A and B are shown apart, each in its own frame.
Chain A
């Protein structure tokens, strides 16, 4: 049945070469943990991607209950945690996953760095990777404010002070992030929500696309 459905589509739009490009390629011996156990270090990039998928999915589901408004943000989070079935699990996935992403990203970076895998011809992919790292940090930072509790509020106050510390444009950068020259409130929350849910994920998807296309084009770096 499935085979026939696949054949029906494939006959018309020829999808086999497409998914072969994505999934069907050899894993070199030096990257295969079955040959050398130490090759598990090559898993960190994939694990980062896996946790990112969890973050995207759990985040999408969380927005079914969350509202980015100073009157109701905390109450909606409290409601989904205490009243909605599996609310603790779904928010827990997003909460802990946020930290796990950073850890995996860091381990992946360490592996690439200490193996020298960033060297020519892969310098561009290293740069894109660093951009992904910044986007992830920004996602963690903007997401931190959204529950609108004391910890979130004061962490954001500190964040804005850091932004203000930038030479020359600090004042403007702070107002741009904050939405108001002095009040950390309604506009800040709405802005952080928009950045966290629309702008940064869009940037992340584009960068990840480039990252993966370059890996396939250049192949994985050779053994040490």
Chain B
């Protein structure tokens, strides 16, 4: 290898040429297939649109559950999917739209879902509890507060976007 003039033998030259041409052919064959397969990773998410949920006048200081239905397009399959939120107005007259998904293992919580805790959210799966503002009660399974929906009020109607998780312990 330390010769000053490195000779490329005919055999080596043909080897390189063959490898190069073969590699080029293999790459041009595989490139469209790989791009085809990884397409879902590179496609921008279409979620994030705000959905009209309820008239603001219906929101009270007690959490109420409101449902709304979204047309979900899943590639070649279109279906109606129902989402829900627990919404109330706090003492500063701010709207608090909480996600009903328990942060423990994803069951649905409900306000006053257990007679023993009439002013807490209760998850029936593992007795998880949350305060009215969504904070998880210590010594119950949930590790984090309930997620809060992005929201905005337009023309007296509440619009909700995606639930934003709040950090936990």
Contacts and interface: CB of A to CB of B under 8 A. Distances in A.
Contacts of B75: 65, 76, 79, 83
Contacts of B37: 61, 64
A120 B32 CA distance: 44
A45 interface: no
A84 B39 contact: yes
Contacts of A76: 75-76
A79 B73 CA distance: 12
B33 interface: yes
Interface in B14-43: 29-30, 32-33, 35-37, 39, 42
B76 A85 contact: no
A220 B37 CA distance: 40
A87 B35 CA distance: 9
A54 B29 CA distance: 8
Interface in A52-106: 54, 57-58, 61, 64-65, 72, 75-76, 78-80, 83-87, 89-90, 93
B38 to A, nearest CB: 9
Contacts of A54: 29
Given A76-B76, A79-B75, A85 B29 contact: no
A85 B39 contact: yes
B76 A57 contact: no
B64 to A, nearest CB: 38
A79 B42 contact: no
Nearest to B75: A79
A84 B36 contact: yes
B33 A79 contact: no
A91 to B, nearest CB: 9
Nearest to B34: A61
A46 to B, nearest CB: 13
Interface string B89-123: 00000000000000000000000000000000000
B30 A90 contact: no
A75 B76 contact: yes
A86 B43 CA distance: 13
B30 A57 contact: yes
B17 to A, nearest CB: 14
Given A72-B77, A79-B75, A90 B32 contact: yes
A61 B33 contact: yes
B135 to A, nearest CB: 43
Contacts of B35: 85-86
Contacts of A58: 33
B24 to A, nearest CB: 14
Q: Which of A79, A80, A85, A87 has the most CB of B within 10 A?
A: A85
Q: Which of B29, B32, B42 has the most CB of A within 10 A?
A: B32
A158 B92 CA distance: 74
B22 to A, nearest CB: 11
B29 A86 contact: no
Interface of A: 54, 57-58, 61, 64-65, 72, 75-76, 78-80, 83-87, 89-90, 93
Given A72-B76, A90-B33, 12 more contacts: A57-B30, A65-B75, A72-B77, A75-B76, A76-B75, A78-B76, A83-B75, A85-B35, A85-B36, A86-B35, A90-B36, A93-B32
6 contacts: A76-B75, A80-B36, A83-B75, A86-B39, A89-B36, A93-B29
- The 9 A-B residue pairs with the shortest CB-CB distance, nearest first, are A75-B76, A86-B32, A89-B32, A79-B76, A61-B33, A86-B36, A90-B36, A85-B39, A86-B35
